[in-house]
Amino acid sequence: MITLIKRIFRAGWHGLTRDGGMMVANVFIMTMAVSVVTSLFLFSNISQFVIGSIQEKVDVSVYFKYEATESDIMQAKESIAELPEVEEITYISKEKALENFTETHKDNVVLMESLAEVGANPFLASLGIRAAQANQYEAVVNYLENSNLNYLFEKIDYYQRKPVIDRIYALNSSFNRIGFALSLILIIVASLVAFNAVRLSIYNSREEIKIQKLVGASNWFVRGPFLVQGAICGFFAALISLLLFTLLTLGFNSQVAVLFPDLHLFSFFMSSFWMILLVQLLTGVVLGVVSGLVAVRRYLKV
Amino acid sequence: MIKFESVNKIYPPNTIALNDVSFEISPKEFVCLVGKSGAGKTTLLKLLMAEERPSSGKVFFDNQEVQAIASEHLPYLRRKIGAVFQDYRLLPSKTAYENVAYAMETIGASDEEISRDVAEVLDIVGLKDKACNFPAQLSGGERQRVAIARALIHRPEVILADEPTGNLDPYNTLDIIRLLLKINEFGTTVVLSTHNREVVNSLAKRAITLNEGKIIRDEKIGRFIL
């Protein structure tokens, strides 16, 4: 068995190295297929990252009545924190709200003068609530409106932000839907192109396959070297694609940072390096082996 | 050893390649299949190797009906047969040595057996010095000798030679025929399909003559008469 496997691998390797042109063509086409899958993998992760970082900037604020005490607010905070949808709650006291406003608008003379005219601190204490998902804000707000702490609330700042939250939710879900459909189509197209390249090279070997069968070779002895060749081409395609994406992410790192300041493309790529390598190797090798398996089948009927 | 029983072969739509063909070949025989091009010689050999199926009738090899053998067991039948073709049918991406070794690899011979036997057989066919040449680097006669070496390396029970001298000059033709006779002397059955008058007449072996798919003559010491 070991001798048989060794011979199959040797025959596969010889078949490739003795027909260098065909090997280069196959590796090139499979590199494109692997690169399409890698781009989709990266794009999907980057879009999730970007949407996630936008979501992090969205929250619902609950403003408390002027007379609400800090212990009332803390009690409300604890109660709201128990909701499974809630990921984070930030308490902003009246003093902190005033401080934030002053800090933000210190250069705006009109606003500062108006604030001085009012005299006392006009700001209300608030809780900033962030849900895990954009579509969970509705549930959080429903809870707040119907809770027994409702009498403490001056205003729930949700309906003003609802259009933004809804848009993010819609963007996220349509991104997922379109991304999935697009990925599926591109993966099918890339696989078909790679399959066709392997099929053509096996078509060129159809006479050889016939001879091998007539000499007494079993189906696996004939098929094996083609599968090895497919796997080797897939392996090289994965390595070339990896190198290509490493250089691309490094090259476009600063340009992407201008568009999305939170996103460091190269660091992002390197943080998923092993996963990307695995995806590429799996795509390349599986594509090569399966294409070989399917393409060689019809010529084995001798 | 080989038996054809009322075999008919019709290629669609209605080309009759073999018409009610019946004959037997005993072990260690040297038989010439004689006939013009299109007489049905190649079809007959293809049926024996299970490359084609008869439209009706039965083909037996070692008392086993060839067409009843399941496809996964066909390699075992083919390993008992050594085939030589007019167009050599060598594997172009393998050297002469590798082409011959391939037949042994299929039967699972060890590397030691392969290196010993292949060197010996290449020596017998006079190609020891060209073991590393690819088929494209060999002459027609040399290619055919590689094909014969491949056919006999695994000591088959029978060698089927389909017009092995069809593409060769008289000198190489004589060489190949001498080789086949030598193989037969060692006890291997040889079935030689040919339309070469000189070859058939000089051999003075059994000749089965085919014409338009029918056996018209089967003589112990045959002559080329058409």
Residue B199 clears pLDDT 90, i.e. is over it:
no
Model confidence band, residue A180 (pLDDT cutoffs 50, 70, 90):
confident
pTM above 0.80, yes or no: no
Model confidence band, residue A287 (pLDDT cutoffs 50, 70, 90):
confident
Alpha-carbon A186 to chain mean position = 16
Q: What's the rounded mean pLDDT across residues B45-66?
A: 93
Model confidence band, residue A160 (pLDDT cutoffs 50, 70, 90):
low
Give B52's DSSP letter: S
The tokens describing B18, both together, are: 């073999």
Q: Name the strands in the sheet holding B2-11, side by side, starting at the edge strand that comes first in the sequence.
A: B15-25, B2-11, B56-61, B64-65
Q: What's the rounded mean pLDDT across residues A125-152?
A: 84
Residue B138 clears pLDDT 90, i.e. is over it:
yes
Contact B112/A at CB under 8 A: no
A207 contacts in B (CB within 8 Å)? 89
What sign for the dihedral angle of Cα A137, A140, A145, A149? negative
Residues A135, A140, A144: CA angle, nearest 5 degrees = 155
CA-to-CA distance for B121 and B97, rounded, in angstroms? 10
- Please count the residue pairs, one from chain A and one from chain B, whose beta carbons lie less than 8 angstroms apart: 55
CB A260 within 8 A of CB A170: no
Residue from A214, A236, A238, A234 nearest A226 by CA: A234
User: Residues A191-207: pLDDT tens digits?
Assistant: 888 888 888 888 888 99
The tokens describing B6, both together, are: 């009322």
User: Residues A36-72: pLDDT tens digits?
Assistant: 888 888 888 887 787 777 777 777 888 998 888 888 8
Q: What's the rounded mean pLDDT across residues B123-131?
A: 89
Residue from B126, B175, B160, B117 nearest B146 by CA: B126
User: Residues B2-26: pLDDT tens digits?
Assistant: 999 999 999 998 899 999 999 999 9
CB B108 within 8 A of CB B150: no
Q: What is the pLDDT of residue A188?
A: 87
- Count CB neighbours of A94 within 10 A: 18
Model confidence band, residue B54 (pLDDT cutoffs 50, 70, 90):
very high
Residue A300 clears pLDDT 90, i.e. is over it:
no
The CA–CA distances, whole Å, from B175 to A21, A301, B149, B170, B203 equal 38, 35, 13, 9, 13
From the candidates A214, A229, A302, which should be mutated to test the interface with B, based on the most B CB atoms within 10 A?
A214
Q: What is the pLDDT of residue B154?
A: 87
pLDDT, greater one: A105 or A169: A105
* Max CA separation in chain B (angstroms): 51
Inter-chain touch B102–A18, beta carbons under 8 Å: no
The CA–CA distances, whole Å, from A182 to A47, A179, A188, A193 equal 14, 5, 10, 16
User: Residues B27-45: pLDDT tens digits?
Assistant: 999 999 999 888 999 999 9
CA-to-CA distance for B21 and B23, rounded, in angstroms? 7
Task: Give, for A302, the enclosing helix (H) or strand (E).
Answer: none
Chain B, 194 to 223: residues with Cβ < 8 Å from chain A are none
Q: What is the pLDDT of residue A159?
A: 67
> CA of A7 to nearest chain B CA: how many angstroms apart?
8
Q: What is the three-class DSSP state of A169?
A: helix
CA-to-CA distance for A152 and B4, rounded, in angstroms? 103
Residue from B76, B174, B84, B15 nearest B66 by CA: B76
> CA of B42 to nearest chain A CA: how many angstroms apart?
14
Residue with tokens 């010529």: A299
Contact A48/B at CB under 8 A: no
The CA–CA distances, whole Å, from A156 to A138, A147, A160 equal 12, 13, 9
Inter-chain touch B108–A3, beta carbons under 8 Å: yes
Alpha-carbon A52 to chain mean position = 11
Inter-chain touch B91–A218, beta carbons under 8 Å: no
> Helices (DSSP H) in B31-185: which residue ranges?
41-48, 74-78, 96-106, 111-124, 140-152, 170-185
3-state DSSP percent of chain B in helix, strand and coil, to 5: 40, 25, 35
Q: What is the pLDDT of residue B221?
A: 83
Mean pLDDT of chain A: 85
Complex ipTM: 0.86
Q: What is the DSSP string of A86-133?
A: EEEEEEE-HHHHHHHHHHHTTT-HHHHHHHHHH-S--PPPEEEEEESS
User: Residues B203-216: pLDDT tens digits?
Assistant: 889 999 999 999 99
Q: What is the pLDDT of residue A201?
A: 84
Contact B28/A at CB under 8 A: no
Residue A144 clears pLDDT 90, i.e. is over it:
no
Please, what are the domains in chain A? 2-54+168-299 (no CATH), 58-159 (3.30.70.3040)
CA-to-CA distance for B83 and B150, rounded, in angstroms? 8
Amino acid at residue number B59? V
CB A163 within 8 A of CB A184: no
Bridge-based pairing state of the strands B158-162 and B81-85: parallel
